[in-house]
Structure 1
Amino acid sequence: MSTDSRGILYPARLPSFRRVPAPAHLEDLVRWFWIPEWDIAAGRSSRQYVVAYPACNLVVEPERVTLSGPTTRLSYRDLTGRGWAVGALLRPAAVPSLIDAPAELRDSERLLDAPELHRPVVAAMRIAERDARHHEAVDAFAGWLAKRVRPASGEGLLANAMADLMDGDPDVRTLPDAATRLHVSPRTLQRLAIRHIGLAPVEMIRRRRLQEAAERVRLDADASLAQIATELGYADHAHLTREFRDRLGFTPSAYRRGL
């Protein structure tokens, strides 16, 4: 299990958070499962800010199942009381089985009628021992996905490769960069992104750079903002600051001070 916190702006505020790799038979459909748990004192709350990955998430909570679309801005949730969630960060190949037009869910979510998913995950999360309940919850989730989601098609695998490249290779900074690496046209990538993710490719690249910039600002106190901007492909410090302000609502300097 992994506790990697990329995309979470204030990981120290999370009471408990795990990322669990997808089992081998689902690696083309799920990037990982994620499980936060919290128990907040009465009268208090914990606000969690997230720069989400450019992807759809399927999420089971005690009272509901939701499918959330890709986001284009900072999102947050106020945690109160006691609770949990079990989510699957979906790979692009899985998305057409759950929604025809993921762009319709951009910056939003919809309830999913999936009692066969909800019941066993809720039952698993009632197990007292943490590792055991997480294992059982992921097994139940994976079993439902294996039955409900079609195996990855050739187009879906290409969409996965596009997402992996844009998310994992810092040298890919433009749509033509990605198209050249994958030996397809930019128009093909645009079509794949809209059908399988719900965002334009350029938005996917911008989201990765913003996640990386926030992580560097948070973890590398010795690096100047100008150095971070240059290393991540921003034109200059001012470009990085504008991106932070436009997408997150505050500057990188303010973020670093707030930590």
Structure 2
Amino acid sequence: MDAPDGRGILFPERLPTFTRVPAPESLHGLVRWCWLPRWDLPAGVVSRQEVLPFPASNLVVEPGGVRLHGPSTRASHRDLTGSGWAVGLLLRPAAWTSLPGGPAAVRDTSVPLDEPDLLATVTAAMAAGADDEAVAVATGWANERLAPPDEGGLLADAFEDLVAGDRDVVRVDQAAERLGLTVRAVQRLARRYIGVAPLAVIRRYRLQEAAQRLREDPSVTIAAVAAGLGYADQAHLSADFRQVLGLAPRDYRRAAGAATSRGASKTP
């Protein structure tokens, strides 16, 4: 599996220690990667972590328990204080074959999972500073609890892979044609295994790419980013940006640049 990329992280300079570890081959089709943040902040300091999440679900182990987080329809943030950690698994659509309920039921929310052994073992590993062991425990749990992908799950995974890897796919009918499916079939797959509409999946990946380009390449124009990602014009990209991120592309670029400058000023 390819090494994880940095899409979805809106302000990398604000991150605490953060690692993404590709899932083992045994979880192919079920888990994309394991992610681990750690933080230890001085008293009174608050670090706001803002992300544009992947259109997917996550299983997350934290000191307070184990939770299943559904797909998010908007950018989100978390204010970190003190010290802490989390160990998460970014799930593939096919993982829902063996998870309770369905992703639409936990869209924009989360539910607790009664997994005391998983919580205790991961907590012990993180307390000992054994991040690799924590990853092994979490992925071992997934190997035991997640059933192999069914036919629908594999098709949903293929849709996700297509959208994630081909920026020319900007409409649902394009995805359906390349997968050899009808638009209705793609809509059913997205509803059953992802929990959001297929067009929302496509737009989320395009917005992640837009944010990354605006953040990393100051020379590229917003119009060029819009054209490169299949938007009809800059106005359409700006409308999507405001709807999901809550600010215009120009404002995001300015904020990301300011965050980068502050980070650089702290470097010895």
**Would you say same fold, with TM above 0.5?**
yes
**What residue in structure 2 maps to residue 258 of structure 1?**
255
**What residue in structure 2 maps to residue 25 of structure 1?**
26
> Within 1, Cα distance between the matches of 2:69 and 2:51?
14
**What residue in structure 2 maps to residue 209 of structure 1?**
206
Q: Deviations over 1:15-53 (max 9, x none)?
A: 211100001101211000011111111011100111000
**Cα RMSD, aligned residues only:** 1.3
Q: Conserved in 1, the CA contact under 8 Å of 2:4 and 2:33? A: no
Q: Conserved in 2, the CA contact under 8 Å of 1:30 and 1:89? A: yes
What code does the residue aligned with 1:35 have?
L
What code does the residue aligned with 1:120 have?
T
Alignment equivalent of 1:244, drawn from 237, 241, 245: 241
Q: Conserved in 1, the CA contact under 8 Å of 2:226 and 2:237? A: yes
- Displacement over 6 Å in runs of 4+: none
Q: Conserved in 1, the CA contact under 8 Å of 2:156 and 2:193? A: yes
What code does the residue aligned with 1:55 have?
A
Aligned length: 255
> Within 1, Cα distance between the matches of 2:126 and 2:21?
15
**What residue in structure 2 maps to residue 142 of structure 1?**
139
Alignment equivalent of 1:235, drawn from 217, 232, 237: 232
* SS state at 1:60 partner: strand
**Within the alignment, does 1:101 sit opposite 2:102 as a pair?**
yes
Structure 1 residue 109 displacement after superposition = 0.8
**What residue in structure 1 maps to residue 121 of structure 2?**
120
* SS state at 1:125 partner: helix
How is 1:24-43 mapped onto 2 (pairs within 5 angstroms)? 24-43=25-44
Q: Which runs of 5+ in 1 are unaligned?
A: none
Q: Deviations over 1:175-200 (max 9, x none)?
A: 11111111111111111111111011
Structure 1 residue 99 displacement after superposition = 2.8
**What residue in structure 2 maps to residue 179 of structure 1?**
176
What code does the residue aligned with 1:83 have?
G
User: How high is the TM-score relative to the length of structure 1?
Assistant: 0.95
> Within 1, Cα distance between the matches of 2:5 and 2:84?
21
User: How high is the TM-score relative to the length of structure 2?
Assistant: 0.92
What code does the residue aligned with 2:188 have?
R
Structure 1 residue 2 displacement after superposition = 5.5
> Within 1, Cα distance between the matches of 2:165 and 2:152?
20
What code does the residue aligned with 2:214 have?
V
> Within 2, Cα distance between the matches of 1:15 and 1:68?
21
**Percent same amino acid at aligned positions?**
54
